[in-house]
Chains A and B, each alone.
Chain A
């Protein structure tokens, strides 16, 4: 790997692949860094290696990734898989581990395309073996052809629950139940956005088709569930939840949960980019202009890392950001940038029409986000419960970072990725402050574990 590139892109999902292809095709020296061993991101994971039968079971949207990856492979962009980025500074210095070897490189332009991860929503028992993210279940399916044994329960909120249940059915897995938290009030709040969403009605008809297929296969589908809990001693044995006023219990050894996805903002936070709370998406997002430029010169963000829009939008956003990069580097004029990006802009706008409807429909209830059960573990690493966090706040620590110092919440190996938002929401609830006024954990490098040996290897020939 060189010490310097004109453009470094981080993340090989739809946004990163599309951007790298455009930039390289315009003759810009481009390096694409990615943590995974193969391109595609989480959405198109293992797209080059999944056997045909598995790819068919996953459905036509998955196979769209083949074209994207193939165009990237044919471009002149340099590709560095198995690469973890552990720091990014405002002057575009990037600390990374490539195949266990540490290195610091720099770039004229940096495009963050590192996507999203599943929103962590603490509830009692969610740390038990046997409870896993639904997206994680899908990664096992895509990457390894591993699926739950019969009787799996899917719970939470969002389109992924239905999609995954449908994919499992196609692979012959018996799904016991799909339990969604969406309530009558969600439908009412989503209703005003329905006409706009119907302009891209294929998303909605597809969802209805999934539901019908699942019902016909005997899968229990329940909306409006609450008070989800997982029980067991060494691993999951039963789950319980409330539905229509009464308490239910189901025996299962496998629960896959999903509460939507949130942008992975660790790198843009580390660089010092401005962020804001997006109420409808219930998450923090970096401040971006129409081209994906952040508040820091030469650092851009495209795809779900900049706000949740899904795979198709990410692809368009990746190309749009790439045209801005080309303009920043003096390769194309402003007029050429505008002309080149026009088509992607049009398609992206159309694709995004469904989003406000989905966001309102699948919005996570406050009872789960702001007031988790006292004995729910919020920080999975340091094992700090919601009750302990509330005690800290009651003692006068009315800020996420104060809670962190007092309880160690957010100081474990995941560095607060899994609890930052939950802590901020509990703080906001207890102090009656709006989320837009809440503070985020301060993020410091290394963002990924780095051994002393790797750190020392950065300076191999340093004289005594």
Chain B
């Protein structure tokens, strides 16, 4: 489980994570935003249907693949949040 440090407020945007509206700091990665929400797993694997979550946070492991604005297989750690962005768990290969 993760939590946000109590820091002075910055610019925020609203994103929709698995159908829920969430206010998050502008400029952070989608992976950071979903981890702070503690939604558990962010995808299931295509081979054995196992739960996974972000692992490396720097674009090398590809474990944080999610469906962002309807497009599957997006590296959540490499995409920045935008106002109104729809972020969803990916099931299997996502297609």
Could you list which residues of chain A lie within 8 angstroms of chain B, going by C-beta atoms? 35, 37, 42, 49, 51, 53-54, 84, 117-118, 120, 127-133, 135-136, 139-140, 143-149, 171-172, 234-235, 253-254, 264, 380-383, 412-414, 417-418, 449
- The answer to whether A139 and B73 have CB atoms under 8 Å apart is no
- The answer to whether B2 and A147 have CB atoms under 8 Å apart is yes
**In whole angstroms, how far apart are the Cα atoms of A35 and B28 in the complex?**
14
Q: How many B residues touch A, CB cutoff 8 Å?
A: 39
Contacts of A51 in B (CB 8 A): 7-8, 10
Taking the closest CB of chain A, its distance from the CB of B55, in whole angstroms, is: 6
Taking the closest CB of chain A, its distance from the CB of B37, in whole angstroms, is: 10
Contacts of A133 in B (CB 8 A): 55-57
**In whole angstroms, how far apart are the Cα atoms of A135 and B59 in the complex?**
12
**In whole angstroms, how far apart are the Cα atoms of A127 and B64 in the complex?**
12
- The answer to whether B62 and A235 have CB atoms under 8 Å apart is no
The answer to the question of B95 belonging to the interface, with a C-beta cut-off of 8 Å to chain A, is no
Contacts of B50 in A (CB 8 A): 127, 383
Contacts of A49 in B (CB 8 A): 27
Contacts of B1 in A (CB 8 A): 148-149, 253-254
- Knowing A37-B80, A149-B1, A149-B3 touch, does A140 contact B57 (C-beta < 8 A)? yes
Near A by CB (< 8 A), chain B positions 2-23 give: 2-5, 7-8, 10
A-B contact count (CB 8 A): 116
- The answer to whether B47 and A383 have CB atoms under 8 Å apart is yes
Most buried by B among A144, A264, A382: A144
- The answer to whether A140 and B62 have CB atoms under 8 Å apart is no
Contacts of A127 in B (CB 8 A): 50, 52, 55, 63
Contacts of A147 in B (CB 8 A): 2-3, 5
**In whole angstroms, how far apart are the Cα atoms of A383 and B45 in the complex?**
8
Contacts of B40 in A (CB 8 A): 129, 234-235
- The answer to whether A412 and B62 have CB atoms under 8 Å apart is yes
- The answer to whether B5 and A171 have CB atoms under 8 Å apart is yes
Contacts of A381 in B (CB 8 A): 62
The answer to the question of B85 belonging to the interface, with a C-beta cut-off of 8 Å to chain A, is no
**In whole angstroms, how far apart are the Cα atoms of A381 and B52 in the complex?**
11
- The answer to whether B51 and A140 have CB atoms under 8 Å apart is no
- The answer to whether A146 and B2 have CB atoms under 8 Å apart is yes
**In whole angstroms, how far apart are the Cα atoms of A120 and B62 in the complex?**
13
Checking B8, B25, B54, B62 against A413 with a beta-carbon cut-off of 8 angstroms, the contacting residue is B62
- Knowing A144-B25, A144-B28, A418-B60 touch, does A235 contact B5 (C-beta < 8 A)? no
**In whole angstroms, how far apart are the Cα atoms of A382 and B50 in the complex?**
11
